[in-house]
Amino acid sequence: MKLPEKTVERLSEYRRTLLECLTKGKTHIYSHELARLHNITAVQVRRDLMLIGYSSLKKKGYDARDLVEVIGKLMDHKNGLNVAVIGMGNLGRAITTYFIGKRPKLNIVAAFDVDPNKINRVISGVYCYHMKDIKDIILSSKISIAIITSPPETTATITETLVIAGIKGILNFTTTPINVPDSIFLEEFDMITSIEKVAYFVKDQVKL
């Protein structure tokens, strides 16, 4: 079953919230509680969960642990997927440090850079290889997903190399839009656009 992209995003957010609830000892949660935490409607929460065939016990709400497992079975690869970070500058290191250990089915197993001070070292818990070794390491380490955080001027060349190496999904954090074959899933995150979006919706409320 292929879910809409927005549904997948919300399911990921629900799982994060449910895991936080469990760490606080909260074992059940109602749709309206999830909705409030994510600034959406309870109807939307119920639609998303009905779409994956999940319903609640009305008296107690959703079983948080059970729902985490259901979402995991739907979203995660049964054997896990390996991830590489391309570019170990400030952003690359921050992403790697934050993400390691967050999801057992997604493993950052390699990083790449051209800086001689970073190559052949463990940075943020991940071994950093030279960019020229991308194709060989992607193949030998069975890497399926690449996160690009390299300088914008290198994005096109890196993307071409990733496509040739057989990468299946790319998360692009650079300001350079990229084109990939239809067989590769591409997610592009533009921080400037996101900030400008926020600025647009608050500009009429700010008096300078």
* Domain ranges for the chain: 5-72, 81-193
Residue type, 193: T
Classify 153 as helix, strand or coil.
helix
Distance CA 129, CA 96 (A): 15
Cβ–Cβ contacts within 10 Å for residue 166, how many?
A: 14
More confident residue, 205 or 179: 179
Which CATH class name applies to 81-193?
alpha beta
* CATH of the domain spanning 5-72, picked from 3.40.50.1000, 1.10.10.10, 2.60.120.510, 3.30.70.100: 1.10.10.10
More confident residue, 161 or 103: 161
Residue 95: per-residue pLDDT: 93
Residue type, 105: K
Task: Give the side-chain half-sphere CA count within 13 A for 66.
Answer: 12
What pTM value is reported for the model? 0.86
Contact 17, 34 (CB under 8 A): yes
Residue 45: per-residue pLDDT: 95
Residues pairing with 89 in the sheet? none
- pLDDT tens track for 29-71: 999 999 999 999 999 999 999 999 887 766 788 999 999 999 9
Two structure tokens written together for 25: 């000892």
- Residue 192: phi and psi, rounded to 5, are -65, -45
**Residue found by looking up tokens 């950093």 in the block:** 128
